[in-house]
Each structure stands twice: as structure tokens, then as C-alpha cells.
Amino acid sequence: MRDLLLLGIETTCDETAAAIVRRRADGSGTILSNIVLSQTDDHAAYGGVVPEIAARAHVEVLDHVIERALRSSGVKLVELDAIAAAAGPGLIGGVIVGLTTAKAMALAARKPLVAVNHLEAHALTARLTDAVPFPFLLLLVSGGHTQLVAVTGVGEYHKLGGTIDDAIGEAFDKTAKMLGLPYPGGPAVERAALRGDASRFHLPRPLMGKPTPDFSLSGLKTAVRLEALAIAPLHDQDVNDLCASFQAAVVDVLADRVRCALRKMREHGIKPNALVLAGGVGANQVVRRTLHKVAADGGTRLAVPPPELCTDNGAMIAWAGAERLALGLTDELSFAPRARWPLDEVEGAASLD
């Protein structure tokens, strides 16, 4: 095994990102560059991501972002071992832009293509930042995804539970919009909650205590709306208290569902080396503090990438590509972009034997 240099391209939602990552022969890694251009301002007026606007923005800036990633890393295109790009799941227009660009570069430079599952990239980031060995329990929480997954190897993902309605990040965003807070909603709710009283409103904790580690957020979101309507018009402190109460409910549910998933892993004879928190909601400091205790109580540790690697970025795509390339996993230029691509349908080396 030798060192590997990869370019990673991420365009699945509203960040246009590219990065250069080195994976060493011993399995450790270094980020040489990580350029992220956010489209938050482009979508703020709409209170959420508009797919057509996102795709056009990716087309306009992706070449420049890739050029900056190469230049700031000091790596030349010819020195790369492969080109990795997020091939889904995500907004299909953006996925097409990134994957098509990667295919063109791979063809022109005669380099292998690695089509990366965006969720797998989140799952494996803690191996780059914290050297987490397999197996581990993954809690993936973002605007579009909420799931608990037993990760036993690259391409070996066993879903234990997930949301039956809204993703947690989506619930944060919708709650923020409902209360008149700016986009993106997650950070806005967290900031308001710091000034609020979490005990003022008694909100439900859906599915707490249930035997399978699933989530349900739509009822909680509705409860917030009903409380807001009951005291309308809202003053600033009302909004702060609602945010604090909502966040406390979400954190309680997360803690309970993670405990359930840890038990499930052990029932299957798998001892997790870590609880890995991934996705944009992983940047929430209250969530982090709570899960640190849950992991310790469960006989393991919490591994969380730094906030800039919890949200979408090119480094996680490059790293996942390097992990796959190290196992000899590459993809044909005919690989099709996917709007939907469940993590447990990702193929690993064992499934290709």
C-alpha cells in the first residue's frame, strides 16, 4: 500500500466544494486544501434551498473552486491518483454538475473515477479526523437525513433506525421559519435557545422508550406551532423560549434513540469503538455535549469532526474516495448520478467478490 492523493468534489445541495486529501499507507490522512463556497445568501430569501438556483450556481463556480483547491494544495492534476465526486443522494441537478465535471477530468487526465455516496462520506469523515477504527455506531443527522447505522467497514453499513417522517435538520429549519428566524434555521434556533427557558413549554418526546431506534419529528414540530399560535403575537423572549424547549426535546430524543442503538449493536455481538456524530446537526454544541455523556455511559467515546467538516465539504468526498480506492474500488465513467441512494445499498469490497 502507498500514499494516495485525491481530489474530492461536492455539489449535492447548496455548497460548491472541492478538496485535496492525502491518505497515507498506514490509513491516516491529511487535508491539503478544502474550499467551500456556500450558496446560503442565494437561497435565504426563499427560506430554503431552491434546486434550480443551486444547480446553476454550481455550474458557474465549480471550475474556479476546483482550481483554487489544486492551487492552494500545491498539487498538480497529474499527481492525483483519482478523482472523487459525490454521485448522490442529493438534488439531482447539482449531483449531475459535480459528477459530470469529475468524469471529464478523469477522462482528460486518465485518472480513475470514484463515485462517492454522500452519506458514506459523512460516515467515514471521523476516520480522517479521529482515526476511528471499525466497527462504530454512526448517528447521521442533517437537513435531509436522520439515521443510526452500524458501520463495520468501508461499504458495510447496517441501518438500525431512522426517521419515519422529518429529518432532524429539516425540523430545525422548519421550526426556525415558523418562528420568523433567518435561514439556515439550525444555527438560528441554537442561538435563540441560548437566551431561552427550556422548561417553559412542555413539548412531546416522540418514540422515546420504543424498542427500535427510530425517530419521528413531525409531531414535535406541530406541537411548537400550536404553542406559538396559542400565545401569538410572539415577542422575542417567546421565540427564545420556544427554541430552547424545542432543542431540549430534540436532544432528549437523540440521547434515548442512541442508547437504544448502542444496545442493538451489542445484542448483535458488535462492540462499537465509538459513537460517530456526522452531518450538519453535529455542529450543534448542545447535541455534542449530550452525546459525549451518552457515549461515555455506553462504554464508548464520541467522535465528532470539527464543525466545518460536519457540514457538506469536498474533503469528506476526497477521503471517502481514498478509502474506497485503497480497497481497489473505482467506477466506470458510465456511473449514473442518483437523487436517491440509501447508505445500506453502497457496495464494498466484500460485495464485489
- Which residues define the annotated binding site for Fe cation? 118, 122, 312
Question: CA-CA distances (angstroms) from residue 29 to 6, 8, 22?
Answer: 11, 14, 6
Task: State how far the Cα of 312 lies from the Cα of 282, in Å rounded to an integer.
Answer: 12
Whether 87 contacts 95, CB under 8 Å: yes
User: Which of 271-290 are b and which e, b meaning 16 or more Cβ less than 10 Å from the residue's Cβ?
Assistant: ebbbbbbbbbbbbbebbbeb
Reading the block at residue 81, the C-alpha cell is 491518483
Cell 423572549 sits on residue = 237
Annotated binding site: 118, 122, 140-144, 173, 186, 190, 284, 312
CA angle in degrees (0–180, nearest 5) for 127-129-133: 25
Question: CA-CA distances (angstroms) from residue 208 to 72, 149, 164, 353?
Answer: 47, 18, 14, 41
User: Which of 130-154 are b and which e, b meaning 16 or more Cβ less than 10 Å from the residue's Cβ?
Assistant: bebebbbbbbbbbbbbbbbbbbbeb
Whether 190 contacts 198, CB under 8 Å: no
Task: State how far the Cα of 347 lies from the Cα of 129, in Å rounded to an integer.
Answer: 23
Neighbours of 328 (CB within 10 A): 9
DSSP 216: -
Annotated binding site for substrate: 140-144, 173, 186, 190, 284
Question: CA-CA distances (angstroms) from residue 293 to 116, 216, 275, 285, 298?
Answer: 32, 23, 11, 13, 8
Q: Phi, psi (5° rounding) for residue 28? A: -80, 165
